[in-house]
Structure 1
Amino acid sequence: MSTYRSSSVGSFLPLRSRTASRRPQTAKPTTIATSVASQDIVCAVCESRGVSSTIGLALINLATAEVVLCQICDSPTYVKTVTKIGVFEPSEILFMSTAAESKLRYIVQENLPDPVFTFLDRRYWSDKGGQEYLDRLAFPDETDSLKLTLGGNYFAACSFAAKTLKYVESELQRVFAAHSLRIKFEPSQGSMMVDLQTIASLELIQNLHNAKSRDSLYGLLNQTLTPMGARLLRATILQPSTERVKLTARYNAVEDLSTKEDMFVSVRQVLKGFVDADKILTSIILVPANHTAQYVEQSVNNVIMLKTYVSAIKKVHQALGAAQSDLLLTIRELCAPGGHRSIEQLIDDTLNEHVTYQSKPLDLRNQRIYCVKAGANSLLDVARQTYKEANADAMDLIARLGGRDQICFKGQRDPDRNQETQDITLDLKYDSARQYYICIPAGEPEPLPDVFINVYRKRNRIECSTLDLVKLNQKISDAHNEVISLSDQTIQDVLHDVCQEASVLFRISEAIAMLDMLAAFAQLATSNDYLRPELTSALAIKAGRHPIRERIHSSKFIPNDAYATSQSRFQIITGCNMSGKSTYIRSVALMTVMAQIGCFVPAQYASFPITHQLFARVATTDDLDSTVSTFAAEMREMAFILRHIQPGGMVLVDELGRGTSTTDGLALAIAISEALIASNAFVFFATHFHDLARILSERSGVVNLHLSAEITHGASKMTMLYRIAEGPLPDRRYGLAIAKLVDLPPEVLNVAHEVSQELGLLAERRDSKTRALVISRKRKLLLSLREQLLIARESTMAEEALCTWLKKLQDDFAIRMDVIDQDIIVTSETREGTEEEAGRSYETSLGLNPSDCGQDAEPEWT
């Protein structure tokens, strides 16, 4: 249920949302992936007053100590703001108290799944406070540039102040160490805008039908080996880059990794040993106001994990020894031993050499006990000896209990069998809740001796304890706590010094995350035969494959070509049911996203223009939560797209208008298509409205394509070819063929066939070409030729290949122009014949006998 919290002067009062009673829990798919779902993100939102909406955002990830600041000049519908917030999926959203009833708050509430709101007093939203926190928390070498940036972004600074001052320090009672917080300013430009509905429809992060399935783009690409790499991959998919230089650098790095097998194997092997560096560093720099025993114990764990992290960095430097791309060389330089030598030396002087982070509870406890070197504190050494002796006593106790003739079942002899009882097989186990306990295999005879207490019987074992073991556990626990307490001062000194170098360690963590993501891309490229794309002004794909469907149907998937330029920007794709229209348009969109995150794509050749917006209207289900029908939902989505689409965007439309009557659906499809053509965006429009293809066929920028199928043996068998072909769908009456295959009654099929023939004849008479349409085809062909020549001028083809291509282009142009000229002749002859026939019919209707008259004779009336 949606809830928000309101506060004034530091008080927090839970309140029910106004919409809670009428708005059930939403079933909208989330964009969070299971591997990164534990992030705790808080967002502060500050809005300007006036007609032009300027929104300041500050998002803090409390799990990774990262702050993202953004200031957006948005439209009245706040589409950019909602998209940006939705990508991060904050667990709580902070608003100014005066914005409790604002339009922005209600729009955010309606578009995000069950947000929790907190309203803060206006005095906490201060740009001066934001600048002061920036001085205290930002990395020293980034402070000046961030202050300059925030100086011109007043609302982002206000959001930063409210979030840091009120939420983290007052509500969570935590303080960041000085100069240790990662702060990034992300402008609204620089990344592709992908709205939340498109993220769900294209299954970028999560499968629509099964949330646990890996059949999504994130599930496919997530070959990462570190938590940092998985988080970076998710963020990159949701915000693909539009910076050509950045993408080229990633392509070069992936190519470098995929072509050097030894380096690639070494990098993947090194990355397997990394702990979650971001969370470790966050735990170190985010200090609670009161030091509890739990915090002291966790601090020791953090230092051990930090040692594991720092010791693995130099291996990355060594693994990238053969790197040649600029991005890999930059990562290698960041991981050089000189950059973190002071931290490594500090840890080596304090911790024992062989201490590493362990996942098993008992091993981790032992590592905490012995992490600090001996001799640092004599009392610490004594406490360790006590701990060691108590553990040895526990082992001896189990050995005595399990020894022959030490304990037995009731009586020394079995009265029924007249034989001595068997020994008991005992195992000493440990978990963090019960500490040491005894485990007995289930096959041992019962009842157990009275010495055993707290007995729990499970399927294949019995778990229990003894009074002596309980006392030893308490002794061991006291010794453990004493060791941790005596180690605390040494550990805190180490952590204080590490905080001074936090910026270096965070940068290395980001570099390792980038390396992990690039190595995952290289893994995909080599194992799935992916190709490096080019960045050009045209979308050209040869033998492209749907990356997700290809994995599911690896032996059956049929690749297809795609080509789109400004003269073929609106592509109408027709075809019968199940012919692959949806798969075709989705594959183009998914490959575009892959290309703009720096990944290779599943094709034999691919070039892409930089796409700044991606919209998809492909859902076909009713929105039951909002009591909205399929047709109303798709009209709402199309209204959203038409309001925000711009040149340089891409739109996918699948089966628009089929939720209403054929006449209304076609009319709306034509009107919406006209608007999309005028937007100069790339549009892939899959439809069953064949009249749409006919009506728009002569428009500049429109191309008709279809997915082909074959009907054989008198329409008794239909074969889907899943091949894209030029032109509208041939009139093969595929629907009637499918109806015949499902064994409808013959009389129904006969009537349907007769009606279809009559409608076809009407369409033929209606489709007679006029000279104006033929001339528009000629103009369209000339514009296409001009565009092809411009592309050829900018191409990097060899001279011989270019000459061959130009000769083929010339021949194709001549053939197509001749076809158009022939159409003009046929059209003229048809019109003359039609006019003559119409004249004869008119004369006959008047009783005129033309054979009785000369050419100039006057008609004779009867």
Structure 2
Amino acid sequence: MSTNTSRPHTRPETVDHNPSEQLGSWIVAVTESRGVGREVGIVGLEFEFGQVVLSQLADSQTYAKTIHWLRQRPPSNLLLVAPASPHALTILHTTLKHLFPTVPLTVLPRASFASEKGYNLLQEFCSPGPQSDATLAEVRQKYYALGAASAVIDWIHKRFIQTGKSHWEKHSLNVKWLSVEGCMLIDRNTALDLELINNAVSSKSKQSLFGLLNHTYTPMANRLLRSNLLAPPTEIEVIDGRLDAVQELIELEDSFFNLRKSLKLLTQIDLDKLIGGINSTELASNRSSCNSESESHSLTSLPSSSKKKKLETQDPSLAITKKLELLKSLRTILQSLNPIRSALSTCSSELLRLASNIFEDPFLDEISSVLELRVNEDSFLGVQKGSLAKQNVHAYAIKTGVENQLLNVARETYKENLSDAMAMCEALKEEHHLPKLQFIFETRAGFMLQIKKDDLRGTSNDTTDHPDGLPKVFTNIVKKGKTLHFTCLDLKKKNQLIINSYQEICLLSEEVLDGIFEEFKKRVSTFFRLSEAIALLDMLASFAHVASTREYVRPEFTDTLAISDGRHPIKELFDSESDEFVPNDTYANGSCSFQLVTGPNMSGKSIFLRQIVLMVVMAQVGSFCPAKYASFPIFDALLTCLSKNDDIEAGLSTFSSEMKTLSGILSSMAVCRNSLIIIDELGRGTSPLEGVGIAHAFSEEIIKAKSFCFFATHFRVRKITG
């Protein structure tokens, strides 16, 4: 594939020309083939977590799969290939511009989408490990995905240089290959109509499929569940593996409860963000030297002179505080490993054993031992902000015995200066006959003296020239209500010595912490796998929790759709007004794949249709279903026509909106052969005569395609079937 194709250098078309503006978190580059086929490469880069997701797919003329990929998580920035002429935009460009009108869209020269350069960049920044090696081997011949990777990484690199943001180290990005063919296609409107993620009435309500299944503890599992509901897997091995794990957790109650108890400890910890935070931490040596731009090609921030000055004059404890917070979260995760290992020790399902093997990685114990040997336990405890206790925690964060003699000397100096300052305060109290004199500590100023005005009355002092009766040795007197705050020259000098020794301790301690971070970065791929394992375990445990507290059954996967005593999962759980929930049966197979659902208004046709679809989604994400028996084929697309409203934003009436939806269904049917189609009262937006004709014609197309379809209608069946 040639990478030197000449194209006009078009100025990027974007709404954020100012490089100092905030860079979004989810940046996506899209490129496509220039031939008749629709081969599309998509790469998304999660700026905050340091994750790269690559995909390449064969799409239709309507870009149904590309749109589905992008709508699972709308991008904060879009990068596209510059068209040959600014006045001749490609169909892809026009489509994405219409779908994401508020997203900054930047066009780049085709030279930016160079596949070979993209592969080299991935090799340079991909975290080492077997999983990464497999990903690189997978994408080696995916030229369009590699081209998109080149564009997004190179574009962010330039933005880093201009904005001076934090950086990634080499071999620190988590690179994943996402096969669209292995996921069910669910468009945005279908997800909204079915309330997969959010309730249609209130976004804060938990009355959705996500609210039903989400009993996860960790942020990683929360994101994994959300993405799975929007794109359920279609590989039978993946689904059965999840169902085996859920069933085993239900059967092994002790393991299940111990696992949930262990995961609960990680409620406030986002391991993905933690990995990104550690990867982007600035080394103390780099901050102090503020080296110029490295000659090697790396994503490095270049602070401006003003930022450099700010770094040099800021509170020296800020950097060490941030690093200790990161290590505190890391320590919490590492402490949860043994309980999770114990909970999984009796499990035999393949998926749980694979997850258990990740927790058994010896490097995790090595990092845990390093933390225990080098960092004091007290440094992870919360202390009062700005207090001397906090400063002492930082000063003694690193355990004694670490081979750093300079740090030991700096601590001795710091300790002596503190003792001298306290002794000086006591001496001032005795010398000037001020028994009520108190000394306080402020992080920036050091030790200060204070006394109440009333406590100065009755003291005999011949050396005072202050109206309140303070001796003239005291300076910088500040009145705060009835209290006087002040200092003296000798105390100022001692405070400066304390600050100098403390700054030296912070810098030397940071170097020890940086050594721990460097060990972490060498095996960052282990923590990427650990994050994925925790997320999967938490999600499966959530499924087991729901199934064990409700009368759910494990679904089977056959060529037949059969449900016995099925119940609408959301209505059953949240509709407290109904005293009795009436279950119903459903059946369809290859010889009778098209099913007409009839009945009077308010008889429950719409609820019945949604019940079927929600159970299909639950089954394919690996959850049990609300029924006595459930069997489903594997569907690779969920196509629906459920909304009856007009689309004011698009300028479409109810009828036009229906026709647009039907057109999309027909286009998707050509790409996705194993589709589940749900139609709810088609033709209500026009006259009965025209509605019958449209319903009849569309029904014939579905029957020809042999797709599974449930078609609810208010028309008389004879009029549709002839």
Aligned twin of 1:529: 551
Alignment of 1:64 with 2:49, yes or no, is yes
SS across alignment from 2:332? helix
Counterpart Cα distance in 1 of 2:685 and 2:244: 47
Task: Write the mapping of 1:507-522 to structure 2, written as runs, cut at 5 A.
Answer: 507-522=529-544
Alignment deviations for residues 402-460 of structure 1 (CA, whole Å, 9 cap, x no partner): xxx95789x99xxxxxxxxxxxxxxxxxxxxxxxxxxxxxxxxxxxx97349xxxxxxx
Q: 1:169 to 1:48 in 2, by over 3 A?
A: same
Q: Retained in 2: the 8 A contact 1:257–1:519?
A: yes
Alignment deviations for residues 466-488 of structure 1 (CA, whole Å, 9 cap, x no partner): 8569x99x999998766543422
Q: 1:496 to 1:581 in 2, by over 3 A?
A: same
Counterpart Cα distance in 1 of 2:64 and 2:414: 60
Counterpart Cα distance in 2 of 1:384 and 1:253: 56
SS across alignment from 2:217? coil
Alignment of 1:277 with 2:303, yes or no, is no
Counterpart Cα distance in 2 of 1:351 and 1:205: 42
Deviation at 1:142, TM superposition (A): 4.2
Alignment of 1:74 with 2:39, yes or no, is no
Q: 1:311 to 1:388 in 2, by over 3 A?
A: farther
Match of 1:131 among 98, 119, 129: 119
Alignment deviations for residues 722-772 of structure 1 (CA, whole Å, 9 cap, x no partner): xxxxxxxxxxxxxxxxxxxxxxxxxxxxxxxxxxxxxxxxxxxxxxxxxxx
Q: Retained in 2: the 8 A contact 1:386–1:479?
A: no
Q: 1:408 to 1:539 in 2, by over 3 A?
A: farther
Counterpart Cα distance in 2 of 1:139 and 1:96: 28
SS across alignment from 1:572? strand
Task: Write the mapping of 1:83-162 to structure 2, written as runs, cut at 5 A.
Answer: 83-98=68-83, 101-112=89-100, 114-140=102-128, 141-142=130-131, 144-162=133-151
Q: Retained in 1: the 8 A contact 2:15–2:104?
A: no
Deviation at 1:115, TM superposition (A): 1.8
Q: 1:359 to 1:529 in 2, by over 3 A?
A: farther
Match of 1:538 among 556, 560, 573: 560
Match of 1:634 among 638, 649, 658: 658
Match of 1:572 among 575, 580, 596: 596
SS across alignment from 1:596? helix
Task: Write the mapping of 1:89-488 to structure 2, written as runs, cut at 5 A.
Answer: 89-98=74-83, 101-112=89-100, 114-140=102-128, 141-142=130-131, 144-168=133-157, 170-171=159-160, 173-274=165-266, 275-286=269-280, 289-290=301-302, 292=311, 297-336=321-360, 338-353=362-377, 355-356=379-380, 370-374=396-400, 376=404, 377-378=407-408, 381=411, 385=415, 451-452=480-481, 483-488=505-510
Task: Specify the code of the residue in structure 2 equivalent to 1:216.
Answer: S
Q: 1:660 to 1:357 in 2, by over 3 A?
A: farther
Deviation at 1:354, TM superposition (A): 5.0
Q: 1:523 to 1:109 in 2, by over 3 A?
A: same
Match of 1:552 among 574, 590, 612: 574
Deviation at 1:40, TM superposition (A): 1.9
Aligned twin of 1:783: none
Task: Specify the code of the residue in structure 1 equivalent to 2:149.
Answer: F
Counterpart Cα distance in 2 of 1:201 and 1:480: 60
Alignment deviations for residues 752-802 of structure 1 (CA, whole Å, 9 cap, x no partner): xxxxxxxxxxxxxxxxxxxxxxxxxxxxxxxxxxxxxxxxxxxxxxxxxxx
CA radius of gyration, larger in = 1
Stretch moving more, 97-106 or 534-543:
97-106
Q: Retained in 2: the 8 A contact 1:308–1:356?
A: no
Q: 1:9 to 1:346 in 2, by over 3 A?
A: farther
Aligned twin of 1:47: 32
With structure 1 as the length reference, what TM-score do the two structures score? 0.66
Task: Write the mapping of 1:730-741 to structure 2, written as runs, cut at 5 A.
Answer: none
Q: Retained in 2: the 8 A contact 1:617–1:637?
A: yes
Alignment deviations for residues 111-134 of structure 1 (CA, whole Å, 9 cap, x no partner): 236222122233322112112112
Q: Retained in 2: the 8 A contact 1:39–1:63?
A: no
Task: Write the mapping of 1:703-722 to structure 2, written as runs, cut at 5 A.
Answer: none
Task: Write the mapping of 1:621-770 to structure 2, written as runs, cut at 5 A.
Answer: 621-645=645-669, 646-690=672-716, 693-696=717-720
Alignment of 1:617 with 2:641, yes or no, is yes
For structure 1, the residue ranges without an aligned partner over 5 or more in a row are 1-6, 18-37, 399-404, 413-448, 454-464, 699-862
Q: Retained in 2: the 8 A contact 1:271–1:516?
A: yes
Deviation at 1:360, TM superposition (A): 8.8
Q: 1:688 to 1:343 in 2, by over 3 A?
A: same
Deviation at 1:632, TM superposition (A): 0.9
Q: 1:72 to 1:663 in 2, by over 3 A?
A: same
Counterpart Cα distance in 1 of 2:9 and 2:501: 45
Task: Specify the code of the residue in structure 2 equivalent to 1:150.
Answer: V
Stretch moving more, 187-196 or 93-102:
93-102
SS across alignment from 1:98? coil
Q: 1:479 to 1:225 in 2, by over 3 A?
A: farther
Deviation at 1:382, TM superposition (A): 5.3
Counterpart Cα distance in 1 of 2:75 and 2:224: 17
SS across alignment from 1:595? helix
Task: Specify the code of the residue in structure 1 equivalent to 2:655.
Answer: F
Task: Specify the code of the residue in structure 1 equivalent to 2:272.
Answer: D
SS across alignment from 2:175? strand
Deviation at 1:232, TM superposition (A): 0.9
Q: 1:388 to 1:268 in 2, by over 3 A?
A: farther
Counterpart Cα distance in 1 of 2:166 and 2:118: 17
Alignment of 1:605 with 2:629, yes or no, is yes
For structure 2, the residue ranges without an aligned partner over 5 or more in a row are 1-6, 18-22, 282-299, 304-310, 426-436, 442-450, 459-477
Task: Specify the code of the residue in structure 1 equivalent to 2:40.
Answer: I
Q: Retained in 2: the 8 A contact 1:533–1:601?
A: yes
Counterpart Cα distance in 2 of 1:160 and 1:395: 63
Aligned twin of 1:424: none
Q: Retained in 2: the 8 A contact 1:270–1:315?
A: yes
Counterpart Cα distance in 1 of 2:661 and 2:328: 52
Alignment deviations for residues 121-179 of structure 1 (CA, whole Å, 9 cap, x no partner): 33322112112112222233345433432221101001111111221454465542222
SS across alignment from 2:587? strand
SS across alignment from 1:340? helix
Q: 1:592 to 1:352 in 2, by over 3 A?
A: same
Q: Retained in 1: the 8 A contact 2:258–2:339?
A: no
Deviation at 1:534, TM superposition (A): 0.8
Q: 1:362 to 1:203 in 2, by over 3 A?
A: farther
Aligned twin of 1:563: 587
SS across alignment from 2:30? strand
Higher relative contact order (CA 8 A, sep 6+): 2
With structure 2 as the length reference, what TM-score do the two structures score? 0.78
Counterpart Cα distance in 2 of 1:314 and 1:666: 64
Counterpart Cα distance in 1 of 2:568 and 2:384: 42
Q: 1:578 to 1:346 in 2, by over 3 A?
A: same
Counterpart Cα distance in 1 of 2:545 and 2:223: 18
Alignment deviations for residues 616-639 of structure 1 (CA, whole Å, 9 cap, x no partner): 211122211122111111111011
Deviation at 1:664, TM superposition (A): 1.1
- Give the length in aligned residue pairs: 614
Deviation at 1:263, TM superposition (A): 1.0
Task: Specify the code of the residue in structure 1 equivalent to 2:237.
Answer: V
Counterpart Cα distance in 2 of 1:675 and 1:70: 31
